[in-house]
Chains A and B, each alone.
Chain A
Amino acid sequence: DAGVTQSPTHLIKTRGQHVTLRCSPISGHKSVSWYQQVLGQGPQFIFQYYEKEERGRGNFPDRFSARQFPNYSSELNVNALLLGDSALYLCASSLLTGKDTGELFFGEGSRLTVL
């Protein structure tokens, strides 16, 4: 079975540009979350979506936005890129039924470099 898939795997942008990152959750998973992992740090929560609605937002500026589609895939958009946005962006999916273990299944990430 396919795990969480993300695209692109690597990309390079310049300051001021925008970027769209894509994620497909594990089949049957309705919750998608986005995390930013800067080198040497743990992942930091950006957004959670469930059934196409935003369920949580971390401490990130409005330049960051996301959405979830009817097939539960998701996009993360970042506008007006800054050098500090360079990071690994991780997408994670889960069942979120209330009865699951709370385990998140992460994709391999999209590594963004801003020059």
Chain B
Amino acid sequence: RKEVEQDPGPFNVPEGATVAFNCTYSNSASQSFFWYRQDCRKEPKLLMSVYSSGNEDGRFTAQLNRASQYISLLIRDSKLSDSATYLCVVTLIRGANNLFFGTGTRLTVIP
């Protein structure tokens, strides 16, 4: 079983739409959770960390449900520049570099 499972999409949404991604993780001992963004043929970059209390950064909101072992990312008012692959990431040890990445969910925002 994969450590992190994501719906690969693709999600094609119009500008201004709200879109939500979910992922599940298998190890209940997982400590830290992140969403990374990867543009086509580029390296992954941290979008935001995910906390149990939920956190928001502008149009982006991330939630963690430890009981159900799932993580979500909500993007409001989608922009063309949001088109990318969104990678769900967990690690077993806080601050460790052994990150488990999901397959990624591809988002295309359409004009």
Contacts and interface: CB of A to CB of B under 8 A. Distances in A.
A10 B21 CA distance: 32
Interface residues of B, number: 23
Contact of B98 (A40, A48, A99): A48
B60 to A, nearest CB: 16
Contacts of A72: none
A43 B44 contact: yes
A90 B49 contact: no
A82 interface: no
A18 to B, nearest CB: 24
A44 B101 contact: yes
A60 to B, nearest CB: 13
Contacts of A107: 43
Given A44-B101, A45-B98, A102 B34 contact: yes
Interface of B: 4, 8, 32, 34, 42-46, 49, 87, 91, 94-104
